[in-house]
Amino acid sequence: MYRTSVKVVTRNDHAVVERIGEYSSAVIDGDKARVAGSEIDVRANLATWCRAYATIDPIRRVTRRSIQVFGADGTAIRKIHEASGTRVAAFAAPVTARAATNQAAGERVAPAAAPAEQRATAHVIPSTAFCAALEWATERRAHIHLGVASAGAEQVHHGAIKRIEPYGPWFNVMDAHLSLHVLEGNIHAVGLVTRDHSECVVARDARSRTIAWVSSAEFGWATLLRTFA
């Protein structure tokens, strides 16, 4: 594996999470893949991955490279960006090794499928609970698990969060190596869901699709959840 520091990005219509770090060990089992480490934890459904592009963009007189993965309908699934500390040779090596022979423009995308509504099987709590849970974690520097999913991948942060900065309609976590941006007004409902034997606070949109979720095993988490009931 080519090891170097990168910025990985996962987003949906209402939230985006960005994490700077290194990919660690990767495990692929059929259409399922997971790259899990102390810094970056990504779970992917490879059946939804259709095309990947390597881009080079001049930003403020600095060249930034990225690898971007899309679904058949052109929806962005994963993005991996060059970051401060990225070793250019290591970042470029997999691109060079796997570049398609046909680099002609004009690829077509499939029509977007109608988004399926998800059935919310959760104990409903106030819509403010998701952001309140992140504020609780910030005040206590509590270790949390924080996830955001796209159409074909889920990115999870494990650890504390330190700085929250609301700005306009956005609820933001702005740490040195982690950032989260959530359109707070698009949180239609919040529920409690059991996930990996832990109680998670899950934010959903108007179609009951998951926007983001957070859980913790820290002392006081269960007490916090009872205040939302």
Name the pairing type of β-strands 62-70 and 76-82: antiparallel
141 and 85 in a single domain? The answer is: no
**Residue 215 domain boundaries:** 123-228
Distance, CA of 187 to CA of 134 (rounded, Å) = 14
pLDDT, position 39: 83
127 and 94 in a single domain? The answer is: no
pLDDT tens, 86-125?
Answer: 788 888 888 889 898 888 888 888 887 766 555 556 799 9
Does residue 110 lie in a domain region? Answer: no
The label of the residue with tokens 């707070």 reads 184
pLDDT at 177 over 90: yes
Does residue 156 lie in a domain region? Answer: yes
62 and 155 in a single domain? The answer is: no
Does residue 59 lie in a domain region? Answer: yes
Between the alpha carbon of residue 89 and those of residues 2, 19, 85, 86, the distances in Å are: 9, 21, 12, 9
Between the alpha carbon of residue 143 and those of residues 19, 170, 219, the distances in Å are: 16, 23, 10
Does residue 107 lie in a domain region? Answer: no
Among candidate residues 50, 81, 98, the one where a domain is terminated: 98
Does residue 103 lie in a domain region? Answer: no
Cβ–Cβ under 8 Å, residues 149 and 12: yes
pLDDT tens, 30-79?
Answer: 999 998 877 889 999 999 999 999 988 877 777 788 999 999 999 999 99
CATH classification at residue 69: 3.40.1570.20
Distance, CA of 67 to CA of 18 (rounded, Å) = 14
9 and 89 in a single domain? The answer is: yes
Return the higher-pLDDT residue of 90 and 160: 160
Question: Tokens standing for 202?
Answer: 């899950």
Residues contacting residue 100 through CB under 8 Å, at least 6 positions apart: none
How far does Cα 131 stand from its chain's mean position? 16
Helix count and strand count (H, E) for the chain: 3, 16
227's enclosing H/E stretch is helix 221-228
222 and 135 in a single domain? The answer is: yes
72 and 135 in a single domain? The answer is: no
Q: Which of 227, 180, 217, 219 is nearest to 195 (CA)?
A: 217
Is-above-0.75 flag for pTM?
Answer: yes
Residue 69: burial class (beta carbons within 10 Å; 0-12, 13-18, 19+): buried
pLDDT, position 135: 98
Does residue 111 lie in a domain region? Answer: no
Helix (H, G, I), strand (E, B) or coil at 185: helix
Among candidate residues 50, 82, 98, the one where a domain is terminated: 98
Count other C-beta atoms under 10 Å from residue 153's C-beta: 24
pLDDT, position 64: 82
Split into its structural domains, the chain has a count of 2
130 and 222 in a single domain? The answer is: yes
Distance, CA of 163 to CA of 78 (rounded, Å) = 25
Helix (H, G, I), strand (E, B) or coil at 222: helix
90 and 155 in a single domain? The answer is: no
Cβ–Cβ under 8 Å, residues 142 and 216: yes
Average pLDDT, the chain: 90
pLDDT, position 2: 61
pLDDT at 152 over 90: yes
Cβ–Cβ under 8 Å, residues 36 and 24: yes
- pLDDT-based confidence at 22, cuts 50/70/90? confident
223 and 128 in a single domain? The answer is: yes
pLDDT, position 121: 65
pLDDT, position 129: 97
